[in-house]
Structure 1
Amino acid sequence: MDCVTQILLFLGFSLHSCSHFPPRKYYYVNLAKNWTDAQLYCRGKYSDLATIVSMDDISRLQPAFTYSWAWFGLTDDPKSWRDSMGNDSNSWRSSATGETSKTGYQNWAVSEPSSTNGNEDCVEMYPNGQWNDAPCGALNSFVCYNVTNQNTKTYVFISTLKTWTNARDYCRQHYTDLPMIENNVENNAVYSAKPATAQLWIGLYRVPWTWSDKTQSSFTQWRSSSPNNNGGNQFCNTENPLHEWDDDTCSIKYPFICHQVSKVKTTVRMKFKTRADITDPATNSQILQQLDAELKRRGWTDFKLQWKIQPKKQEEEKLTEPTFG
């Protein structure tokens, strides 16, 4: 079982505690279903379509099975990034904030974004001012923006060709960041800052693929040359008997893998040494929020945190009977 070390820094104290994940149990279901129907089946019979976030999870999977491919719970739903600006974990985000769009503004070129070859996770501006998703490792010029004391944005064109990541780092070092574009005025300002024929990076990116149960994890087990979005519609994931992953068309019918998470109730006793008022509801709420975020980051799902402060033991007063002379 995975041991998780949680480090909570809050109001000048640190908490170190170690607890264990309830391990997922995996079930191969030999019924041919599309990805969506497989998800519904797993949620009805178990916890969800299988989440696989470590080699420990891989070791708990069956070593081999009799069919070639099986669905599991990883998907890259285009509704979150192609049909709208979205606010899911695989939606487009601003480099400057790490957050999804507040206005929903977009200026995509026709048929974009497309995720061609399954690796177009950064955004460039075409010479005409429209946007295109592109491989983050491609080389482009770029525009940086800066914010003045009057909260006015100014834009600077950088002609040096860099990858999206290197362009972002350059802007953060010398200016504020790659441009965050939330309306037509800002898009025109970036367009006006560049030469007419320049194609350049802007500050949009995304992290593709999300787990059905909303677990956040960077673990992957892709086979060579995957994902590739072959045909432009491969947004769901399968695994083969070697536990290698591949993207495929979600409407294809495959057997699938579900997981079940044991329901457990755990009480963690903590002793704080701090000047903060632990009985203050606002303090309790902030601690629980940090613990909640850390547990989700570590792969915990479907849990509820409650705060209970044990009353201090009061020494009983010793009563003495009065004596009379």
Structure 2
Amino acid sequence: METVLLIIIALSGLSAVSSHAERQYHFVSEAKTMSEAQRYCREKHTDLATVDSMEVVKLLNDMAGQHNQAAWIGLHDDRDTRRWSMSDPSFYGPGQTEFRPWRSGQPSNGHDEQCTLLNSDGTWVDNACNYVTWVICFDVTGPNAAFVITKSSMNWTDAQSYCRENHTDLASVRNQTEYQQIVDLLPEGGWYWIGLYRDSWKWSDGSNSSFKYWKENEPNYNALKVCVAAAFDNSGKWEDLDCGVEKPFICYGPVPVSMQVIKVRVKKPNGVDLNDQAFLDAMLVEAKKNLRAQGLDDNVQVAWRKQPDGQVFHEEEEKKRDELYLKVDALCPESYRVNSPDQIRLLAIADNFQRQYSLLYPDHKPLLLCPVNECGERNREETRMETVLLIIIALSGLSAVSSHAERQYHFVYEAKNMSEAQRYCREKHTDLATVDSMEVVKLLNNMAGQYKQSAWIGLHDDRDTWRWSMSDPSFYGSGEIEFRRWRTGQPSNGHDEQCTLLRSDGTWLDYDCNIAYRSVCFDVTGPNAAFVLIESPMNWTDAQSYCREHHTDLASVRNPAENQQIVDLLPEGGVSIGLYRDSWKWSDGSNSSFKYWKVNEPNYEVFKGLCRCSF
């Protein structure tokens, strides 16, 4: 006989649950300061809420109900943390990322002063990044840096792009020696961009999201230290407040897991290896199909759990009377009882087990299965038993498990191309691996052991999928989200051409998002859109932020009539619109900004289908 322990684990929701992000949100009505709220959320849940889509906005509005005040979310204006454009940690020794020869009274931390200028006298000041001036790049070879003065004037974003294209990056200054090397290169008078910058708006949990949902005339930066609350008297739109104000707040945490255990027992047929992989895989496929048919959703996953001896099936001696068994070789009476949904699921799984067994082993006697405690007396014959744990859960213990992400990783040695590997992973498991933290990197390295070659993970350069900055699906009618007016030969899909320019002749082309153009915002009222031409040139990211702060968003163009409305606004030239390509994507759709590139990667050596290996 063999005993099968069936564990059913499903995702349940006590509060509001975001389906796309697998988060659960908790509204806490007790008023606290931002710091107190953050501490509470980290102790009781995961963190203060990250609001990264209109789906989450709508969900929080529904959860707030009649609550018409503002509540803290996790966004705050970080005016103290600066980082270098050259982000590789191996380039810096202890303390070198923190070297700062600021001029007296600097940094002033104005909300728009996020970049760093070096004066010819050697002192540093913070300044608005759109200021146009000269640039210091550097070329890095191992631990050594050679500094290059560029007398072409440009803003900080263009300077960063220039240095990365023609050198290694905008200059980092790690110590007094390098500081002096730069000063010795400079003529008297003048200001120069270096690579130090402040990425102002940050989420408490470290999420990287460009989504914004500000109230009109927000943010207004009326406090020295600014945090963000969602105003539920204004559709959950955001306002900035002094972080010391006491407000209700919203936490988020993982969606809780419920577990149910069912045990079954079958007699081992002669000549059948129950540890045969084809047999095991077929059982998993059928078990999951049946669970779906019983009403459980895709949050339920299926995997075999190996025993300490490395086998799936494990022999045992004892039988326990208080377990629910399946018995082989004895027909159930027609009138046996079915008392609970658990037993209904069990019988259906047993039926699928029989069917798959017959397909795999057509020459063997068919299995006859039924619950022992519903069929009468158990067979008391002394016989050796084999036990297998069938766990319907994300954490099954077959291979390496990432504790923070509740994922299990499986290393497959059979060589495949990226498409074949993706298909295999989706058929046998969930998807190709998403690597979104150093914890996962270390876990995969430990799992790989002595394997020293490359292995596919789920990251690829998607050069074909474009989306609108205005992401609310209710704004678009049938087919409108796919409307395009590309110029002949466009989009060219260069790896750095991820944004869209609408020309005065009505045609579109893709371009480098760092280039500054005029832009078109729009104001949305119900299904209607009013377009607004913004004459001030800015790069695409700044244009998106400006439109979201002062209007609804960068313009979406849903049909030929709207395209013509924008053309009628334009003189010669072109304008940025809201269509963009988010290039690097994970196979499972995860949204993670974590990167772990080798030096000089990515190098874009192929035109299309660029995918990433690890190890």
Smaller-chain TM-score range?
Answer: 0.5 to 0.7
Task: Work out which of the residue numbers 267, 274, 279 in structure 1 matches 2:415.
Answer: 274
| Contact 1:216–1:297 (Cα < 8 Å) also in 2 | no
Deviation of 1:296 (Å): 12
- Alpha carbons 2:136, 2:147 under 8 Å: kept: no
Equivalent residue for 1:188? 180
1:70-129 Cα distance to aligned partner (Å, 9 max, x none): 111123445xxx3xxxxxxxx42222335596412111223332331x232221113432
Which residue matches 1:232?
A: 224
CA-based RMSD = 3.9
Select which of 591, 601, 605 maps to 1:298.
591
TM-score by length of 2: 0.38
What does the per-residue CA deviation read over 1:145-169, in whole Å, with 9 as the maximum and x for residues that have no partner? Answer: 33579956143241x3211011122
Match of 1:112, as an amino acid? Q
- What is the percent sequence identity of the aligned residues? 30
Q: In the superposition, relative to structure 1, how do residues 245 and 193 fare at CA in structure 2: closer, same or farther (>3 Å)?
A: farther
Note the alpha carbon deviations across 1:38-92, whole angstroms, 9 max, x for none. 12333344433212122221121125654442111123445xxx3xxxxxxxx42
**Deviations 1:187-220 (Å, cap 9, x if unpaired)?**
2222232332201111112323333333333333
Alignment of 1:90-105 (within 5 A): 91-97=81-87, 102=93, 103=96, 104-105=98-99
**1:69 maps to what in 2?**
70
The residue type paired with residue 173 of structure 1 is E
For the pair 1:126 / 2:119, whether they are aligned, the reply is yes
Q: Secondary structure at the match of 1:207?
A: coil
Matches within 5 A, 1:1-325: 21=20, 23-63=22-62, 65-78=66-79, 82=80, 91-97=81-87, 102=93, 103=96, 104-116=98-110, 118-147=111-140, 151=144, 153-158=146-151, 160-234=152-226, 236-241=227-232, 242-264=235-257, 265-266=393-394, 273-274=414-415, 280-281=448-449, 283=451, 298=591
Unaligned 5+ segments in structure 2 are: 1-18, 258-392, 396-407, 418-443, 460-584, 594-615
Q: 2:74 aligns to what SS in structure 1?
A: strand
Judge conservation of contact 1:238–1:246 (CA < 8 Å) in 2: yes
Moved more, 134-143 or 42-51: 42-51
Q: Distance in 1 between matches of 2:189 and 2:87?
A: 29
Matches of 1:223 and 1:195, distance apart in 2: 47
After TM superposition, give the deviation of residue 253 of structure 1 in Å: 1.0
Q: 8 Å contact 1:180–1:203 — kept in the other structure?
A: yes
Q: Deviations over 1:259-283 (max 9, x none)?
A: 232134426786664189x974255
Deviates more, 1:265-274 or 1:54-63: 265-274
Computing the radius of gyration over CA atoms, which structure comes out larger, 1 or 2?
Answer: 2
Q: Distance in 2 between matches of 1:273 and 1:147?
A: 38
- What is the alpha-carbon distance in structure 2 between the residues aligned to residue 30 and residue 141 of structure 1? 51
Alignment-mate amino acid for residue 174 of structure 1: N
- Distance in structure 2 (CA, Å) of the matches to 1:138 and 1:51: 32
Higher relative contact order (CA 8 A, sep 6+): 1
The equivalent of 1:5 in structure 2 is none
Distance 1:96 1:275 in 2: 35
- Structure 1 unaligned blocks of 5 or more: 1-19, 83-90, 301-325
Contact 2:73 2:249 in 1 (8 A): yes
Corresponding residue of 2:359: none
d(CA) in 2 for partners of 1:283, 1:228: 55
| Cα 1:148–1:29 shift into 2, 3 Å | closer
TM-score normalised by length of structure 1? 0.67
